[in-house]
Structure 1
Amino acid sequence: MEPTPVVRETLAALRPGRAWGEVRLVDEVGSTNLEVRDLPVWSSVVARRQSAGRGRRGRAWSDTEGHGIACSLLAEVDLDGLGDGALGWVPLATGLAVRDCLVSLGLDTALKWPNDVLAGPAEQKVCGILCEALPPSAKGEPPRVVVGVGVNLDHEAPDLPVPTATSLRLLARAAGRPAPTRDAVVPALLDALRDRLDPLDLTSLRRDYREASATLGREVEVHLPDGSVLRARAEGVDDDGRLRVAGPQGSATVSAGDVHHLRHQPPS
Structure 2
Amino acid sequence: MTHENAPDGASASRWSDLDRPPLNVAALRRALLVPGGLWTSLDVLPSVGSTNSDLAERAGDLPEGAVLVAEEQTAGRGRLDRSWTAPPRSGIFLSVLLRPGPQIPPERWGWLPLLGGVAAATGLARAAGTDLSLKWPNDLLVTVDGEERKTGGILAERAGDDAVVLGLGVNVSLDAGELPVPTAGSLGLANAVSTDRDPLLRAVLRSLEQWYGDWRAAGGDAGACGLQAAYAAGCATLGREVRAELPGGKALTGEAAAIDGDGRLVVTTGDGERTAVSAGDIVHLRPAD
The DSSP-based 3-state class of the residue aligned with 1:29 is coil
**Aligned partner of 1:40: which letter?**
P
Q: TM-score, normalised by structure 2?
A: 0.80
The whole-number CA distance in structure 2 between the counterparts of 1:68 and 1:160 is: 12
Closer, same or farther: CA 19–101 of 1 in aligned 2, 3 Å: closer
Which of 12, 20, 34 is matched with 2:30 structurally?
Answer: 12
Partner of 1:212: 234
Which of 48, 67, 72 is matched with 2:95 structurally?
Answer: 72
Partner of 1:130: 155
Closer, same or farther: CA 238–126 of 1 in aligned 2, 3 Å: same
Gaps of 5+ in 1: 137-142
Closer, same or farther: CA 166–79 of 1 in aligned 2, 3 Å: farther
The whole-number CA distance in structure 2 between the counterparts of 1:19 and 1:207 is: 24
The whole-number CA distance in structure 1 between the counterparts of 2:153 and 2:102 is: 25
Compute the displacement of 1:198 (Å): 2.3
The DSSP-based 3-state class of the residue aligned with 1:183 is helix
The whole-number CA distance in structure 1 between the counterparts of 2:253 and 2:88 is: 38
Which of 194, 201, 209 is matched with 1:194 structurally?
Answer: 209
Tell me if 1:164 matches 2:187.
Answer: no
Partner of 1:140: none
**Aligned partner of 1:215: which letter?**
T
> After superposition, where does 1:222-233 map in structure 2 within 5 Å?
222-233=244-255
Report 1 or 2 for greater relative contact order, CA contacts < 8 Å, sequence distance ≥ 6. 1
Contact map agreement 1:28 1:48 (CA 8 A) in 2: yes
Contact map agreement 2:125 2:131 (CA 8 A) in 1: yes
Tell me if 1:180 matches 2:195.
Answer: yes
Contact map agreement 2:153 2:170 (CA 8 A) in 1: yes
The whole-number CA distance in structure 2 between the counterparts of 1:83 and 1:75 is: 14
Partner of 2:167: 148
Gaps of 5+ in 2: 6-22
Closer, same or farther: CA 93–107 of 1 in aligned 2, 3 Å: same
The DSSP-based 3-state class of the residue aligned with 1:163 is coil
Q: How many residue pairs get matched? A: 252
The DSSP-based 3-state class of the residue aligned with 1:87 is helix
Deviations 1:27-56 (A, max 9, x none): 111111122222321011111111122110
The whole-number CA distance in structure 2 between the counterparts of 1:180 and 1:66 is: 11
**Aligned partner of 2:114: which letter?**
L
Contact map agreement 2:254 2:268 (CA 8 A) in 1: yes
**Aligned partner of 1:185: which letter?**
L
The whole-number CA distance in structure 2 between the counterparts of 1:25 and 1:84 is: 30
Contact map agreement 1:79 1:87 (CA 8 A) in 2: no
The DSSP-based 3-state class of the residue aligned with 2:189 is helix
The whole-number CA distance in structure 2 between the counterparts of 1:150 and 1:168 is: 12
Which of 86, 95, 108 is matched with 2:117 structurally?
Answer: 95
Compute the displacement of 1:13 (Å): 2.6
Partner of 2:19: none
Which of 257, 260, 265 is matched with 2:285 structurally?
Answer: 265
